[in-house]
């Protein structure tokens, strides 16, 4: 019997890794840190009083492991919907999502919760730190939710806080922090369970240019350090400029994918 | 016009989307109003029934001479008729008898002069099917009775049938001669009336040569007072009054009982008002942006305040109307209990229907509306203070929380101090309403203390909550403080309910324990013998002489004593007069004197100087103490008695005078006995003496022989029944408060959509969110219970030491029992946890994507 709390996920990961690399020694939970994301004919429709609204229409994407991908497009083009589906916050109407051989769209509620806990980390535009918790507690929260011992979760939160430059703010409440600091705390929170995918929804949308630059730089550094696949929704060209690839969306469809360094 | 349009745009549209919350607020007010209306109607109906009964019996008489227990000498009726201004003087015999073989059934038997009494003749005329041949046996046969038709029908009786009635320990056979429609005097005593010839009634009910009352028709005007004085002179010791004044007397006797029940009912409305407060302030928070925009486009502060007051008013009016309907329904349920209490404690009354009086409905409506407006005032003013254009986000309106917390907490301290001063002042000034105001201020202080207590308890609870409930527990405790504006209100409501729960438990429990201790000290006889009818009618009636003679000759009887109960009127107020053999009482039993004096010493003093002893309630009610003189009207004229001592007594709140039996017999010319008490010789058991006594009496008399324990148990049964209605009040208050928990928690879950969505996004499972909601709800229950537990004993002390003293005059030894607190905690916390289940379901079903999308 496996002792790993998300055994089903890791069994698939190890099997996938074996299949791909032929490395029969790939057994440890921590060996798998990056992901490959594939969406196939992904559709999302909402029912409204005026009739069905198509938010995503046959989206086909392939995001290689460890890639920093920016998703751009006008408001209402389906960027956030795509992010929510990847985050397991919503379910597709049709089509498939494959994240490291996992299919969140077809998972039971309990498995989807585990998926959100272990596989993805989410950063929001408005930070969404819980006001009743200190910065340290906010960062540690996802680890505590998966049942990590408090001491272990706190130590990891302290280390991440130090990494994002908030070591001196651990016992502060969110309202005592600046916007940039809150977003850094939010990033630390998203990374505490070592997710293989980091999803960021307009992470700089509410920040001044200086704070935005800091946050982007941090996202870039951390994704490299932790070999995390990043998908970032943004309106900002400057923000998108740091990405390895930029996905342009319009009317629920992928209009164009631009890979940095690729011709054309 | 503009206001109506604004109401339609801003209030009505919002209101329709919040139907559940509005419904709970309306129900909160409705339950509060319903309890108030039900109690007023039930107690008022008992008084109205008594008045109707008196007026039905009195017919057109405008003066009644009531003989009390000793009756009136019928030979003096001719002298009364000779008094100028007296047009008619109709003698009567009234007796409440029980129906053999029909447990709990009683009937008022009225003996009248069938030839001359207009009331009977009118009743006979109404029964047109009967001819002179049917009426004649009513006069010629001593056992012929006419019974009201509905009563006969209920008991399955027919004409010609023999029925057995029991009075004063005797079983009497009667033949039903006629069935009369329920009209006129047949409407008395709830319509359970039997009429017979007065001569036969005198014989049957042991009143030969005497009548129980005389109904006088006298000329109104100058001669009326003269008639009254002459009647008093002719019948010394009798009560001479207009029929209506008997109703007034009963009404004044039960006024305190009624007022106290109504005051307790208002606590339910107080708790209900919190729901309105919560509902309106939530509307303000949710529509803060709309208010800011409305202010930008020129809507005035007053208009904003009126809009929100209007919402409160709608809840109040709808709730009050629903409450009126509910209250009328509930009053039918409460009628039996209240009527039985009034019969036991104050006057024999049979109440079968609820009399819905307009003033009660108007009061109920007004209270519901005023409670709603008062509770909506603070949030309405807060809404009005919104600055134009303020773009506050929903649920994040915590402006100047610390300053407000300080103000509200200071208010709690001031209210508490004011309650204390008012309690002392009300005792000095003997002002009962000030006592109620003091009790009300205790509840206000408790409510105002809720926010600071919540902050403190949440801080204390954080560590244990985290240890017991993990991160969910810590978040639950934190969220209570984050949403203090909401949670403090529901905690205040819960605290008010728990305060009432504990205060009532403590008051009733302490009172009960005091009565038990008092009974153990003073009720020492082994057996008590009395007519069985008293168990049903609660009216003292004469014990047959044969029974007393049997007791005298019984082996195993060490000593025996008798009690005769009569009543006296002093300063227009009635008190009970108990005639005991004080020597025997001093030997066998004891009285507990207020000044701690020895029973033997005090009784010796009373015996040597022909003095009387009075109860504490008498002393408080009539302002008399040891050494004061008491002037009493007796059949032998006015007599003065010095009070030898004041003793603790819990028999009657009307007040009790104890007089030595031989002195009573001499002055009241009354040798009759109502109850006998037997002390058993060593070597005999109470049960063996009881069995022998019943064997010797055989089936001749309808009496009960109660062992000491059974008598005390009966007293406690009556006690429990008297306070049974308070249980209903406690339940209603807790139900309303728990409704508040459901609505508040549901609202909080909606307000926290974003936070809950984020929780889901960072990995919280549905179960974790549900657990968090249930834990928060449980913590709210615990905080409300803790605050209520602190305030409950304070309110209990006001009820015991101030209100009880001022209205009833009992001495109650305050007691604290852990089980009262434990019970309150278990019920309220369990109910709060259950109340959290529904909101927990909302929380767990919340769609994470929608919640986090709702960011702007």
- Beta carbons of A116 and B755 less than 8 Å apart: no
- Beta carbons of A89 and B761 less than 8 Å apart: yes
Going by C-beta distance under 8 Å and a sequence separation of 6 or more, which residues neighbour residue B591?
Answer: B522, B585, B599, B602, B603, B613, B645, B647, B648, B658
Mean of pLDDT values over A160-185: 90
> Which range has highest mean pLDDT (B356-370, B384-398, B688-702, B712-726)?
B356-370
Average pLDDT, chain A: 82
Distance from CA of B720 to the nearest CA of A (A): 49
Q: A118 to chain B: nearest residue by CA?
A: B763
pLDDT at B67: 76
pLDDT at B457: 94
- Beta carbons of A87 and B761 less than 8 Å apart: yes
pLDDT at B17: 59
Comparing CA positions, the residue from B423, B553, B386 lying closest to residue B10 is: B386
What are residue A254's phi and psi, to 5 degrees? -85, 120
Distance from CA of B848 to the nearest CA of A (A): 6
pLDDT in tens, B279-302: 787 778 777 777 877 777 777 888
Nearest to B762 among A90, A109, A142 (CB): A142
Range scoring the smallest mean pLDDT among A32-46, A71-85, A100-114, B227-241: A32-46
Q: A91 to chain B: nearest residue by CA?
A: B849
- Beta carbons of B475 and A113 less than 8 Å apart: no
Residues of A in contact with B469 (CB under 8 A): none
Nearest to B762 among A110, A122, A125 (CB): A122
Look at residue B657 and tell me whether its pLDDT is greater than 60: yes
- Beta carbons of A132 and B481 less than 8 Å apart: yes
The distance of Cα B385 from the centroid of its chain, to the nearest Å, equals 44
CA–CA distance, A14 with A18 (Å, rounded to integer): 6
Residue of A145, A157, A173, A191 to mutate, interface with B, max B Cβ within 10 Å: A145
Going by C-beta distance under 8 Å and a sequence separation of 6 or more, which residues neighbour residue B111?
Answer: B92, B93, B94, B95, B195, B196, B197, B198, B199, B200, B201, B202, B205
Mean of pLDDT values over A173-194: 90
Can you read off the two tokens belonging to residue B366?
């007004």
pLDDT at B628: 94
Residue B631 binned pLDDT confidence (cut-offs 50, 70, 90):
very high
Range scoring the smallest mean pLDDT among A47-51, B448-452, B661-665, B805-809: A47-51
Residue B537 binned pLDDT confidence (cut-offs 50, 70, 90):
low
Residues of B in contact with A87 (CB under 8 A): 761
CATH class in words for A66-91+102-259: alpha beta
- Beta carbons of A116 and B758 less than 8 Å apart: no
DSSP string, B112-157: E-TTT-HHHHHHHHH-TT--HHHHHHHHH-TTEEEEEHHHHHHHT-
CA–CA distance, A134 with B534 (Å, rounded to integer): 72
CA–CA distance, B744 with B836 (Å, rounded to integer): 10
Mean of pLDDT values over A143-164: 89
Nearest to B855 among A84, A125, A131 (CB): A125
CA–CA distance, B409 with B416 (Å, rounded to integer): 11
Distance from CA of B481 to the nearest CA of A (A): 8
Residue B597 binned pLDDT confidence (cut-offs 50, 70, 90):
confident
pLDDT at B300: 82
pLDDT at A11: 47
Residues of B in contact with A90 (CB under 8 A): 847-849
Distance from CA of A149 to the nearest CA of B (A): 10
Of B855 and B22, the structure prediction assigns the larger pLDDT to: B22
Domain boundaries, chain B: 1-56+246-397, 63-241, 533-701
Going by C-beta distance under 8 Å and a sequence separation of 6 or more, which residues neighbour residue B474?
Answer: A137, B462, B465, B466
pLDDT at B785: 94
Distance from CA of A113 to the nearest CA of B (A): 6
Look at residue B83 and tell me whether its pLDDT is greater than 60: yes
pLDDT at B627: 92
Q: B754 to chain A: nearest residue by CA?
A: A128
Looking at chain B, the whole-number percentage of residues with pLDDT higher than 90 is: 18
- Beta carbons of B765 and A110 less than 8 Å apart: yes
Look at residue A20 and tell me whether its pLDDT is greater than 50: no
- Beta carbons of A113 and B754 less than 8 Å apart: no
Distance from CA of A121 to the nearest CA of B (A): 7
Nearest to B763 among A84, A125, A146 (CB): A146
Going by C-beta distance under 8 Å and a sequence separation of 6 or more, which residues neighbour residue B55?
Answer: B243, B244, B247
Looking at chain B, the whole-number percentage of residues with pLDDT higher than 70 is: 92
Residue of B762, B764, B851, B855 to mutate, interface with A, max A Cβ within 10 Å: B762
Distance from CA of A210 to the nearest CA of B (A): 23
Q: A84 to chain B: nearest residue by CA?
A: B849
Mean of pLDDT values over B622-627: 91
- Beta carbons of A84 and B853 less than 8 Å apart: yes
- What are the distances in angstroms from CA B257 to CA A28, B353, B440, B829? 78, 20, 18, 32
CA–CA distance, B360 with B330 (Å, rounded to integer): 14
Q: B467 to chain A: nearest residue by CA?
A: A150
- Beta carbons of A116 and B471 less than 8 Å apart: no
Average pLDDT, chain B: 84
Nearest to A132 among B479, B760, B853 (CB): B479
Q: B763 to chain A: nearest residue by CA?
A: A117
Residue A30 binned pLDDT confidence (cut-offs 50, 70, 90):
very low
DSSP string, B360-418: HHHHHHHHHHHHHHHHHHHHHHHHHTPPTT--PPTT---TTHHHHHHHHHHHHHHHHHH
Q: Which residue intervals of chain A bear CATH 3.40.50.300?
A: 66-91+102-259
pLDDT at B534: 63
- What are the distances in angstroms from CA B268 to CA A194, B37, B67, B102, B747? 54, 12, 44, 39, 22
Residue B411 binned pLDDT confidence (cut-offs 50, 70, 90):
very high
Contact, B853 vs A84, CB < 8 A? yes
Question: Where does A108-205 have alpha helices with state H?
Answer: 109-118, 135-145, 150-163, 179-191
Contact, A67 vs A259, CB < 8 A? no
CA dihedral angle for residue B214, residue B217, residue B223, residue B227, rounded to 10 degrees: 0
Residue of A9, A48, A75, A89 to mutate, interface with B, max B Cβ within 10 Å: A89
Look at residue A4 and tell me whether its pLDDT is greater than 70: no
How many residues are given for chain A?
264
Distance from CA of B482 to the nearest CA of A (A): 7
Residue of B459, B471, B483 to mutate, interface with A, max A Cβ within 10 Å: B471
pLDDT at A237: 86
- What are the distances in angstroms from CA B829 to CA A86, A240, B498, B774? 41, 53, 10, 11
Residues of A with CB under 8 A from a CB of B: 80, 84, 87, 89-90, 109-110, 113, 116-117, 121-122, 124-126, 128, 130-133, 137, 141-142, 144-146, 189-190, 193
Burial class (CB in 10 A: 0-12, 13-18, 19+), A1: exposed
Comparing CA positions, the residue from B810, B141, B113 lying closest to residue B515 is: B810
Distance from CA of A124 to the nearest CA of B (A): 8
Can you read off the two tokens belonging to residue B381?
């003013």
Residues of B in contact with A145 (CB under 8 A): 471, 759, 762-765, 768
Q: What angle do CA B92, B94, B98 make, to 5 degrees?
A: 155
pLDDT in tens, B808-855: 888 888 989 999 899 889 988 888 888 888 888 888 877 777 666 654
Range scoring the smallest mean pLDDT among A57-61, B590-594, B772-776, B818-822: B590-594
Q: B765 to chain A: nearest residue by CA?
A: A113
- Beta carbons of B763 and A145 less than 8 Å apart: yes
Look at residue B393 and tell me whether its pLDDT is greater than 60: no
CB environment B204-232: b (16+ within 10 A), e (fewer): bbbbeebbbbbbbbbeeeeebeebbebbb
Q: At what angle do helices B818-835 and B484-522 cross, to 10 degrees?
A: 150
Q: A125 to chain B: nearest residue by CA?
A: B855
pLDDT at A31: 36
Distance from CA of A145 to the nearest CA of B (A): 6
- Beta carbons of B848 and A90 less than 8 Å apart: yes
Residues of B in contact with A130 (CB under 8 A): 475, 478, 755, 758-759
Look at residue A25 and tell me whether its pLDDT is greater than 70: no
Q: What is the interface size between A and B, counted as CB pairs within 8 Å? A: 73
Can you read off the two tokens belonging to residue B655?
């007040």
Residues of B with CB under 8 A from a CB of A: 470-471, 474-475, 478-479, 481-482, 754-755, 757-766, 768, 847-849, 852-853, 855
């Amino acid at each position: 019997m496996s002792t790993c709390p998300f055994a089903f996920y890791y069994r698939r990961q190890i099997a996938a890794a074996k299949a791909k690399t032929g490395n029969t020694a790939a057994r440890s939970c921590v060996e798998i840190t990056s992901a490959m994301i594939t969406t196939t004919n992904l559709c999302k429709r909402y029912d409204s009083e005026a009739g069905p609204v198509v938010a995503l229409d046959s989206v086909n994407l392939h995001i290689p492991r460890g890639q920093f991908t920016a998703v751009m497009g006008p408001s209402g083009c389906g960027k956030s919907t795509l992010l929510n589906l990847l985050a397991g916050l919503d379910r597709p109407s049709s089509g498939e999502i494959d994240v490291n051989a996992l299919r969140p769209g077809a998972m039971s509620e309990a498995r989807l919760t585990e998926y959100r806990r272990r596989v993805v980390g989410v950063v929001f535009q408005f930070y969404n730190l819980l006001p009743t918790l200190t910065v340290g507690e906010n960062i540690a929260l996802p680890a505590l939710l998966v049942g990590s011992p408090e001491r272990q979760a706190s130590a990891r939160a302290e280390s991440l806080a130090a990494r994002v430059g908030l070591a001196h703010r651990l016992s502060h409440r969110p309202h005592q922090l600046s916007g940039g600091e809150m977003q850094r705390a939010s990033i630390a929170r998203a990374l505490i369970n070592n997710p293989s995918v980091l999803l960021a929804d307009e992470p700089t949308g509410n920040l001044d240019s200086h704070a935005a630059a800091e946050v982007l730089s941090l996202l870039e550094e951390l994704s490299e350090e932790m070999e995390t696949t990043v998908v970032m929704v943004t309106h900002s060209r400057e923000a998108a400029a740091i990405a390895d690839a930029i996905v342009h969306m319009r009317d629920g469809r992928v209009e164009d994918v631009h890979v940095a360094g690729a011709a054309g | 016009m503009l206001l109506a349009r604004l109401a339609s745009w801003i209030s009505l549209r919002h209101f329709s989307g919040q139907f559940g919350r509005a419904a709970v607020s309306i129900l909160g007010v409705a339950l509060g109003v319903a309890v108030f209306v039900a109690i007023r109607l039930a107690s008022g109906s008992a008084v109205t029934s008594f008045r109707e009964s008196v007026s039905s019996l009195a017919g057109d008489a405008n003066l009644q001479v009531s003989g009390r227990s000793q009756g009136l000498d019928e030979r003096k009726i001719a002298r009364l008729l000779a008094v100028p201004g007296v047009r008619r003087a109709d003698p009567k015999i009234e007796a409440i008898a029980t129906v053999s073989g029909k447990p709990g059934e009683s009937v008022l038997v009225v003996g009248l002069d069938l030839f001359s009494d207009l009331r009977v003749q009118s009743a006979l005329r109404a029964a047109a099917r009967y001819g002179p041949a049917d009426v004649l046996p009513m006069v010629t046969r001593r056992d012929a009775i006419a019974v009201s038709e509905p009563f006969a029908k209920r008991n399955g009786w027919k004409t010609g049938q023999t029925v057995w009635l029991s009075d004063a320990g005797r079983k009497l056979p009667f033949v039903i001669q006629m069935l009369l429609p329920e009209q006129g005097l047949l409407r008395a005593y709830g319509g359970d009336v039997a009429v017979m010839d007065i001569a036969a009634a005198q014989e049957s009910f042991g009143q030969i040569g005497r009548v129980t009352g005389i109904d006088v028709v006298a000329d109104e005007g100058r001669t009326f007072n003269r008639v009254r004085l002459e009647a008093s002179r002719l019948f010394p010791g009798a009560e001479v009054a207009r029929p209506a004044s008997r109703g007034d007397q009963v009404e004044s006797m039960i006024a305190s009982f009624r007022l106290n029940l109504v005051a307790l009912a208002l606590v339910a409305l107080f708790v209900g008002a919190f729901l309105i407060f919560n509902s309106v302030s939530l509307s303000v928070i949710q529509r803060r942006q709309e208010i800011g925009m409305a202010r930008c486009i020129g809507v005035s502060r007053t208009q904003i305040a009126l809009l929100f007051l209007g919402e409160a008013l709608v809840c109040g009016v709808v709730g009050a109307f629903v409450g009126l309907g509910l209250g009328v329904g509930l009053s039918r349920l409460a009628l039996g209990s209240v009527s039985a209490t009034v019969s036991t404690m104050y006057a024999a009354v049979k109440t079968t229907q609820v009399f819905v009086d307009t003033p009660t409905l108007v009061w109920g409506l007004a209270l519901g509306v005023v409670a709603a407006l008062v509770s909506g005032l603070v949030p309405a003013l807060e809404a009005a203070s919104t600055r134009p254009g303020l773009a506050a986000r929903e649920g994040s309106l915590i402006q100047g929380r610390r300053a407000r917390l300080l103000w509200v907490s200071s208010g709690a301290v001031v209210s508490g101090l004011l309650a204390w001063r008012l309690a002392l002042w009300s005792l000095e000034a003997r002002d009962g309403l000030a006592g109620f105001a003091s009790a009300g201020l205790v509840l206000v202080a408790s409510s105002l203390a809720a926010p600071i207590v919540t902050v403190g308890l949440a801080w204390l609870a954080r560590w244990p909550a985290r240890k017991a409930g993990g991160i969910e527990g810590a978040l639950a405790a934190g969220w209570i403080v984050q949403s203090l504006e909401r949670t403090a209100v529901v905690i205040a409501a819960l605290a008010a309910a728990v305060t009432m729960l504990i205060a009532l438990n403590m008051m009733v429990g302490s009172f009960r324990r005091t009565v038990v201790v008092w009974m153990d000290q003073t009720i020492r006889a082994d057996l008590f013998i009395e007519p069985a009818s008293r168990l049903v009618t609660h009216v003292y009636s004469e014990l047959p002489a044969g029974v007393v003679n049997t007791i005298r000759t019984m082996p195993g009887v060490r000593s025996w004593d008798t009690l005769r109960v009569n009543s006296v009127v002093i300063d227009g107020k009635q008190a009970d007069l108990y005639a005991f053999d004080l020597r025997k009482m001093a030997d066998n039993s004891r009285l507990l004197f207020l000044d701690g004096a020895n029973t033997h010493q005090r009784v010796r003093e009373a015996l040597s100087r022909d003095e009387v002893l009075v109860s504490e309630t008498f002393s408080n009610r009539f302002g008399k103490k040891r050494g004061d003189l008491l002037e009493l009207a007796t059949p032998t004229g006015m007599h003065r008695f010095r009070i030898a001592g004041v003793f603790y007594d819990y028999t009657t709140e009307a007040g009790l005078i104890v007089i030595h039996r031989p002195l009573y017999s001499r002055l009241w010319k009354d040798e009759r006995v109502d109850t006998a008490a037997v002390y058993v010789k060593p070597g005999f058991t109470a049960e063996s003496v009881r069995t022998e006594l019943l064997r010797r009496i055989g089936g001749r008399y309808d009496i009960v022989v109660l062992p000491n324990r059974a008598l005390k148990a009966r007293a406690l049964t009556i006690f429990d029944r008297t306070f049974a209605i308070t249980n209903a009040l406690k339940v209603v208050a807790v139900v309303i408060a728990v409704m508040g928990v459901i609505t508040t928690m549901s609202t909080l879950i909606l307000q926290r959509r974003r936070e809950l969505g984020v929780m889901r996004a960072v990995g919280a499972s549905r179960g974790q969110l549900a657990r968090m909601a249930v834990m928060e709800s449980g913590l709210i229950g615990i905080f409300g219970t803790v605050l209520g537990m602190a305030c409950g004993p304070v309110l209990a002390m006001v009820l015991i030491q101030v209100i009880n003293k001022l209205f009833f005059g009992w001495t109650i030894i305050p007691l604290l029992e852990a089980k009262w607190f434990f019970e309150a905690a278990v019920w309220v916390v369990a109910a709060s946890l259950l109340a959290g289940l529904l909101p927990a379901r909302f929380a767990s079903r919340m769609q994470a994507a929608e919640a986090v999308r709702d960011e702007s």
